[in-house]
Amino acid sequence: MQQVHNSDDWLKRSSRLTLRVRPGVKTAIARIAHDDEVSLSEASDTALAFYARAKIRDQEETLFVPRMQAMMRREIRSSDDRHLPFEIRNAIAAEQTRMIAADLYQRLLAKEGLSQEQIKVKLRKQYNQARINIFKITPQMTAMLAEYWQRIDDQADQQVQAEEAADFSIS
C-alpha cells in the first residue's frame, strides 16, 4: 500500500525539515523517488530513516563487545561459584589420597631397609616428576585444547547464526 503524503494523518505524524544537500545527492534521491513512484519527500524520509537505523546499529555494535565481555565475566563468575565447592572437595580428596599413598610407600621403603633420608629423596623426586607431568604441555594436550576451543567457537558461531536468522525472519 502506497503512503499518501498529502493526507492530514501523514502531516500530523511527520515533522517539517529543510535540508541542504549536494546536487548529486538530490539527483540520486529524485531518481529513486521517480523509479519508486513516490514523492521526493517520501524518498528522503525513507533514506534518512535507513541512515538513522544504520547509525543506531553501528552504535549498538560498538557497545556489543564491552557488554558481551561483561556478560561473560558474570557467567564465568557464576560458573566458578557453582564449581568451586566441587573443586575444593576434589582437591581435598586428592590430597588425602596422596598422603595415604605416600605413607604406605614410606612404610614399604622403610621395611626394605632404606633410611629416612633416602625415603625423603625418593619422595621429593616423585613430587618433582609429578609437577613436571602435570604442567607439561604435550602435543596431545595441545591438540586436545585446540579441538576444545574450536568446538566452543563453532558452537558460538552456530548460536550467532541462529540468532541472526531469527532476527532476520522477525524484521
Whether 23 and 97 map to the same domain: the answer is: yes
Whether 13 and 92 map to the same domain: the answer is: yes
Q: Residue 40 falls within a domain, yes or no?
A: yes
Place of cell 557464576: 78
Asked whether residue 1 carries a pLDDT value surpassing 50, the answer given is no
Whether 141 and 82 map to the same domain: the answer is: no
Whether 105 and 165 map to the same domain: the answer is: no
Domain hosting residue 42, numbered range:
8-136
**pTM above 0.75?**
no
User: Grid coordinates in use for 137?
Assistant: 604441555
Q: Residue 2 falls within a domain, yes or no?
A: no
Whether 16 and 29 map to the same domain: the answer is: yes
Whether 22 and 78 map to the same domain: the answer is: yes
Could you read off the pLDDT of 23-81 as tens digits, one per residue? 998 899 899 999 999 988 888 888 888 888 999 888 888 888 888 888 888 888 777 77
Residue 29: Cβ within 10 Å count: 19
Whether 84 and 165 map to the same domain: the answer is: no
Whether 37 and 98 map to the same domain: the answer is: yes
| Domain count of the fold of the chain | 2
Region for 154 from its dihedrals, namely left if φ exceeds 0, alpha if ψ lies in -120 to 50, beta otherwise: alpha
CB-side neighbour CA atoms (13 Å) of 13: 10
Q: Residue 3 falls within a domain, yes or no?
A: no
Whether 161 and 115 map to the same domain: the answer is: no
Whether 95 and 156 map to the same domain: the answer is: no
CB-side neighbour CA atoms (13 Å) of 139: 0
Q: Residue 69 falls within a domain, yes or no?
A: yes
Q: Residue 60 falls within a domain, yes or no?
A: yes
N-term to C-term CA, the chain: 18
Q: Residue 153 falls within a domain, yes or no?
A: yes
Whether 105 and 158 map to the same domain: the answer is: no
User: What is the pLDDT at residue 159?
Assistant: 77
Q: Residue 148 falls within a domain, yes or no?
A: yes
| Alpha carbon distance 23, 123 (integer Å) | 86
Whether 48 and 17 map to the same domain: the answer is: yes
Q: Residue 1 falls within a domain, yes or no?
A: no
Could you read off the pLDDT of 103-142 as tens digits, one per residue? 999 999 999 999 999 988 988 898 888 888 777 777 887 8
Question: Could you tell me the maximum CA-CA distance found in the chain, to the nearest angstrom?
Answer: 108
Place of cell 621429593: 124
DSSP state of 3: P
User: Grid coordinates in use for 118?
Assistant: 633416602
